[in-house]
Amino acid sequence: MDILEAETTSAPSEAPSAPPFRLDGKVVLVTGCGSIGPGWGNGKAISVLFARQGAQVYGVDLNAEAASETARIVTEENGTMTVGTCDVTHGNETAALVEACLARYGRVDVLVNNVGRSEPGDPVSMNEEIWDAQMDVNLKSAYLTCKAVLPVMEKQGGGSIINVSSVAGLRYIGKPQVAYAASKAGLMQMTRTTAVLYASKGIRLNCVVPGLMHTPLVARLADKYAGGQYEAFVATRNQQVPMGRMGNAWDVAHAALFLAADESRYVTGTELLVDGGLTSATR
């Protein structure tokens, strides 16, 4: 695993009057911490926001350049972040990732599973390899990170795991993405079940469930689902949302922050929708 480091020291605050949603003293492991293309993807915003709130962030991405860009921003803001490359669909790499985080920071307090892949197709038109690849990225990756991190959190006496799912796992939202929808639904049920199994151990598991978000990924989705008609694709997505606009990566990041922070200590096994009312409108 290739590692790049960027850090400064920050003093944790334990004062009862400290501002809410601080993560001082916490180590956060984020998968998919980079953003492909200019702008803010979910993992990039989560990593930067959590560092701003005092966390020591260990981020990985398949794209080393994208991960390094996130670390550069954190460094310029005097935060603490270590980044590397990892394919979290492989068990050996994922186990090594967690060991590397432990070697660097000594613990894992928060795990954010943020990798994802969406490809068009129904069971007839989609080939088996595409189906398997989406299941691996969207669901198996979270299983592998949880498999490696849960024993660490249990030994520590607690922790928070945040899985980034999608409204596609709850409702049909107009795109033929059967594997993506199935895998994201599976991710939510895996989260609920594991949350119950580990609640007595002080470990919380929850999902952030984004709706239609305006991130750099939208350009790639326009190519896959709208023949490259980016402006029309954006307009359609905005019109689908009751609020009249897509959200952005910071909306997802702030929801994740709530679930990471101690203020959500009594919240587990649930989904936090970040969708501008989309799923309520399509029930």
Catalytic residues: 180
DSSP per position, 123-170 = TTTS-HHHHHHHHIIIIIHHHHHHHHHHHHHHHHT-EEEEEE--GGGT
Alpha carbon distance 256, 19 (integer Å)? 17
Strand duo 203-210 + 271-274: pairing: parallel
Nearest 5°: the CA angle 46, 217, 132 is: 95
Whether the CB-CB separation of 91 and 142 falls below 8 Å is answered with no
Element housing 81 (H / E): strand 80-85
Token digits of residue 147 = 């498999």
Strand duo 27-31 + 110-113: pairing: parallel
Tokens 């998919």 correspond to 32
For residue 104, count other CB atoms closer than 10 A to its CB. 15
For residue 81, count other CB atoms closer than 10 A to its CB. 29
Alpha carbon distance 273, 242 (integer Å)? 14
Whether the CB-CB separation of 141 and 31 falls below 8 Å is answered with yes
Maximum distance among all alpha carbons in the chain?
Answer: 58
